Chain A
Amino acid sequence: MHVLLIEDDDLVASGIQAGLESHDFVVDQASTFVEARMAMASVSSDVAILDLGLPDGDGMGLLKEWRSSGVITPILILTARDAVCDRVAGLQGGADDYLLKPFDLDELVARLHALIRRAAGRARPLVEHGPLCFDPLAREVTVAGHHVPLQRREVTLLEAFLQSPRTILTVDHLKDQLYGLSEDVESNALNVHIFHLRRKLGKGIIETVRGLGFRLGSPDSVELRRNTVGTDG
């Protein structure tokens, strides 16, 4: 899951980034109005965290700008402004959630997952795909009740596919999901992760759409590979 973190205070931002990364989020930070605008345009985020007090402009303005230009990414406002009128203005201005500083890291993570889930149109916290079941909060994948150990990146990749089950995901989008903007990615790293997922969950779990990208396979294609259960990880 890719999170765009818009926060001008480096100390707070580094804390949130470390906290979210420990929960397998991929985080990109923007610390100004201009940076945030550029980041939103260039990287596909699953959710954005927005601090209202930016040094070169008001976060509310950014929010309204995005909403009026058709950006549908769920946005959580994370701010120290606690007045009821601020919260109402934030939610009416197009935010999906409002969390006050200081906050609890677990609450932030739970709210982000809820936002992503709702954006994908799911009401239940668990994602199911045939016999495969994924718990986004616990980061656990089971097939027919058996735990399948996956690497962190593999879980993130699988999550991206499960998030948009019928969509063809481009290589760029998947790279954003896995690494964000900051990391320099080797060209075949994505293919390696897809190879591992296919090995552990069945060949058909991810389909290659030639020239366009990849897509989640049909629910029937999920297989429980006995040799991977409990041995890898």
Chain B
Amino acid sequence: MSLRKRLLWTLGITLTLLWGVTAVWLLRDLHRQIEHTLDQRLAQSARMVAGLVSQLPAEVWQQAEPHRLSIPPIEGLACQVNSPSGEIIAQTHTDLGGVLTPRQPGHSYRTVEGVKWRVFTYQRNSLTITTADRVDERNILLNDVLMVAIIPFLFALIGSLAALWLGILRGLRPLSRLKQALAQRHPEVLSPIEVPDLPSELRPLVATLNALLSRVQQAFVREQRFTNDAAHELRTPLTAIKTHLQVASRQHGEASRFALAQAEKGVSRLQGTLEQLLMLARLENGLDDSWQANCLARSAALEALLMLGEDAQATFSITWPSETFYLPVPHELVVMALRNLLENARRFSPDPGSVHVSFSQSGSGLTIEIKDQGPGVDDRDLPKLAERFWRHGTGHGSGLGLAIVSAIAERFSGRLSFAHNAPQGLVAQLWFPIVEETRQWSDRPDVTWGVPIAPHQ
């Protein structure tokens, strides 16, 4: 059921019921009051007649007895006076003997010849006065009064229902506009929803929806770009492999061997890219349990340096930390992150001693800073460094190395940031929180350098 229908039904039925109950109550009350008033009038008339008759000298009605006094009739009212002996002394209607025969004092109903009467019998000074009203005449009066009361009532009820209907229709119009705007959209369109003149209640809803849509769109664009880039990165080495293999099959001797060697280079590049893509996917979709361990910053850095090979060592000048720091990150991942950063720095700044690596405690974490003296990047490229498949110039590599470092940092509440180095080059800063009990651990005499130790095992 639509909101409008529900509102209309609920409010309409409630309003009608309330007004109906009030009306019934009012009418019953009115009916009782009128009845009461008319009964009082009947009694009052009887008393008045009694008063008049008792003031007459006894002879008057004794003489009149055989002739019966006639009382001019009051409209809608019959009256009869009986003497103590039961004789009728006076009456308004001669034909209403049956109705006006005295009974017990007080009010009663009497039906004579199919006509219902309201009768009042009153005794005073041995005289009995009976007055009577036609009930149907009373009802006519009652109906008239009720009609006067009920017509404005009905009018008010219908008016309120109409006002209710109009109000709900108008009040919910922004909602139906929004509904229309949403219904007309293509399901794949991610542009913001635009509905003019929205009430303040709906504005936050639409704003939230639009913000969500724009985020989805951005994610969609990013995803698409990633897919395109991944396709490019995978197809390029594949193309190299295929082409070189085809050349190798057509050539002989040295040329064929050269082509095969080139194809093999392509294979190892493809393998590298695939492994890095898998690593990224694994970082994003949870990790193996075997990785849940802390690592010693210094031993991870040492291992990363060793992995770069002996030739690479000369490039780096390192300021080792004076304290021992444990990072809440698996050892293998810190090694990988540092290796990628060091490899990258060395690629652009290979001279001996030109890359400076330092460790410093900042806040509740450890910052590992790698400063190179390579060409650096432009301001506008600085934020792109950790983007997937972004490469600097014609630089080689898969373009995933720094993206992996960034993913590792993100996964373990760390940070990767870049800045310009003066006078030239790039500064990469990798920050990780440190395990709180680091100081205690450093006091332990059995901690040895170069061996990854997980304190919780």
Query: What 0/1 pattern do residues 244 to 276 of B give for CB contact below 8 A with A?
Result: 101100110001001100110110010000000
A20-75 with Cβ < 8 A to chain B:
22, 31-32, 53, 55-56
Query: How many residues on B have C-beta within 8 angstroms of the other chain's C-beta atoms?
Result: 28
Stretch binding the partner chain, chosen from A100-108, A148-156, A158-166, A205-213: A100-108
Q: In the bound complex, how far is the Cα of B239 from the Cα of A76, in angstroms?
A: 16
Shortest distance between the CB of A21 and any CB in chain B (Å): 9
Residue A93 interfacial (CB < 8 Å): no
Q: In the bound complex, how far is the Cα of B218 from the Cα of A98, in angstroms?
A: 29
Q: In the bound complex, how far is the Cα of B391 from the Cα of A228, in angstroms?
A: 56
Stretch binding the partner chain, chosen from A9-17, A112-120, A121-129, A169-177: A9-17
Q: Please give, as numbers and ranges, the residues of chain B lying within 8 Å of A9 by CB-CB distance.
A: 236, 240
Q: Are A102 and B393 in contact (CB under 8 A)?
A: no
Q: Are B243 and A55 in contact (CB under 8 A)?
A: no
In the complex formed, the residue of B with least CB distance to A101 is B239
Q: Please give, as numbers and ranges, the residues of chain B lying within 8 Å of A88 by CB-CB distance.
A: none
Residue B27 interfacial (CB < 8 Å): no
Q: Please give, as numbers and ranges, the residues of chain B lying within 8 Å of A82 by CB-CB distance.
A: 231
Shortest distance between the CB of B147 and any CB in chain A (Å): 78
Q: Are B243 and A105 in contact (CB under 8 A)?
A: yes
Q: Are A15 and B265 in contact (CB under 8 A)?
A: no
B231, B236, B263, B391 — most chain A CB neighbours (10 Å): B236
Q: Are A102 and B239 in contact (CB under 8 A)?
A: yes
Residue A8 interfacial (CB < 8 Å): yes
A18, A32, A53 — most chain B CB neighbours (10 Å): A18
Q: Please give, as numbers and ranges, the residues of chain B lying within 8 Å of A12 by CB-CB distance.
A: 236, 239-240, 243
Shortest distance between the CB of A110 and any CB in chain B (Å): 13
Shortest distance between the CB of A133 and any CB in chain B (Å): 25
Q: Please give, as numbers and ranges, the residues of chain B lying within 8 Å of A8 by CB-CB distance.
A: 394
Shortest distance between the CB of A86 and any CB in chain B (Å): 9
Residue A204 interfacial (CB < 8 Å): no
Q: Are A22 and B250 in contact (CB under 8 A)?
A: yes
Residue A80 interfacial (CB < 8 Å): yes
Q: In the bound complex, how far is the Cα of B242 from the Cα of A16, in angstroms?
A: 10
Q: In the bound complex, how far is the Cα of B232 from the Cα of A55, in angstroms?
A: 13
Q: Are B244 and A15 in contact (CB under 8 A)?
A: yes
Residue A81 interfacial (CB < 8 Å): yes
Residue A131 interfacial (CB < 8 Å): no
Q: In the bound complex, how far is the Cα of B27 from the Cα of A29, in angstroms?
A: 104
Shortest distance between the CB of B239 and any CB in chain A (Å): 4
Q: Are A15 and B239 in contact (CB under 8 A)?
A: yes
Q: Which of B239, B242, B263, B266 contacts A80 (CB 8 A)?
A: B239
Q: Which of A18, A32, A83, A101 contacts B235 (CB 8 A)?
A: A101
Q: Are B238 and A11 in contact (CB under 8 A)?
A: no
A15-B262, A22-B247, A22-B251 known; A102 and B242 CB under 8 Å?
A: yes
Q: Are A80 and B243 in contact (CB under 8 A)?
A: no
Q: Please give, as numbers and ranges, the residues of chain A lying within 8 Å of B262 by CB-CB distance.
A: 11, 14-15
Residue A202 interfacial (CB < 8 Å): no
Residue B237 interfacial (CB < 8 Å): yes
In the complex formed, the residue of B with least CB distance to A100 is B235
Q: Please give, as numbers and ranges, the residues of chain B lying within 8 Å of A105 by CB-CB distance.
A: 243, 246-247
Q: In the bound complex, how far is the Cα of B233 from the Cα of A53, in angstroms?
A: 11
Q: In the bound complex, how far is the Cα of B255 from the Cα of A51, in angstroms?
A: 25
Q: Are A16 and B391 in contact (CB under 8 A)?
A: no
In the complex formed, the residue of A with least CB distance to B249 is A105
Q: In the bound complex, how far is the Cα of B437 from the Cα of A9, in angstroms?
A: 49
Q: In the bound complex, how far is the Cα of B392 from the Cα of A206, in angstroms?
A: 50
Q: Are B244 and A18 in contact (CB under 8 A)?
A: yes
A11-B262, A82-B231 known; A31 and B243 CB under 8 Å?
A: no
Q: Please give, as numbers and ranges, the residues of chain B lying within 8 Å of A19 by CB-CB distance.
A: 243, 246-247, 250
Q: Please give, as numbers and ranges, the residues of chain B lying within 8 Å of A55 by CB-CB distance.
A: 391, 393-394
Q: In the bound complex, how far is the Cα of B255 from the Cα of A103, in angstroms?
A: 21
Q: Are A101 and B246 in contact (CB under 8 A)?
A: no
Q: In the bound complex, how far is the Cα of B262 from the Cα of A12, in angstroms?
A: 9
Q: Please give, as numbers and ranges, the residues of chain A lying within 8 Å of B241 by CB-CB distance.
A: 102
Q: Are B246 and A11 in contact (CB under 8 A)?
A: no
Q: In the bound complex, how far is the Cα of B242 from the Cα of A14, in angstroms?
A: 12
Residue B139 interfacial (CB < 8 Å): no
Q: Please give, as numbers and ranges, the residues of chain B lying within 8 Å of A32 by CB-CB distance.
A: 394
Q: In the bound complex, how far is the Cα of B236 from the Cα of A8, in angstroms?
A: 10
Q: Which of A18, A83, A102 contacts B247 (CB 8 A)?
A: A18
Residue B228 interfacial (CB < 8 Å): yes
Q: Are B394 and A104 in contact (CB under 8 A)?
A: no
B386-422 with Cβ < 8 A to chain A:
391, 393-394
Q: Are A11 and B269 in contact (CB under 8 A)?
A: yes
Q: Are A15 and B236 in contact (CB under 8 A)?
A: no
A55-B394, A56-B393 known; A15 and B231 CB under 8 Å?
A: no
Q: In the bound complex, how far is the Cα of B237 from the Cα of A54, in angstroms?
A: 16
In the complex formed, the residue of A with least CB distance to B250 is A22
In the complex formed, the residue of A with least CB distance to B255 is A18
In the complex formed, the residue of A with least CB distance to B251 is A22
Q: In the bound complex, how far is the Cα of B247 from the Cα of A106, in angstroms?
A: 10
Q: Please give, as numbers and ranges, the residues of chain B lying within 8 Å of A56 by CB-CB distance.
A: 393
Shortest distance between the CB of A32 and any CB in chain B (Å): 7
Q: In the bound complex, how far is the Cα of B393 from the Cα of A16, in angstroms?
A: 22
Q: Are A81 and B232 in contact (CB under 8 A)?
A: yes
Q: In the bound complex, how far is the Cα of B265 from the Cα of A8, in angstroms?
A: 16
Q: Please give, as numbers and ranges, the residues of chain A lying within 8 Å of B238 by CB-CB distance.
A: 101-102
Q: Give 22 A-B contacts (CB < 8 Å), ordered by A residue.
A: A8-B394, A9-B236, A9-B240, A11-B240, A11-B262, A12-B236, A15-B242, A18-B243, A18-B244, A18-B259, A19-B246, A19-B250, A22-B250, A32-B394, A80-B232, A81-B231, A83-B228, A100-B235, A101-B238, A102-B239, A102-B242, A105-B246
Given contacts A18-B244, A19-B243, 9 further A-B contacts (CB under 8 A): A9-B236, A11-B237, A11-B262, A11-B266, A15-B244, A16-B243, A19-B250, A22-B250, A102-B242
- B residues apposed to A, CB below 8 Å: 228, 231-232, 235-244, 246-247, 250-251, 255, 258-259, 262-263, 265-266, 269, 391, 393-394
Query: Which 4 pairs, one residue from A and one from B, show the smallest C-beta to C-beta distance?
Result: A15-B243, A80-B235, A11-B240, A101-B239
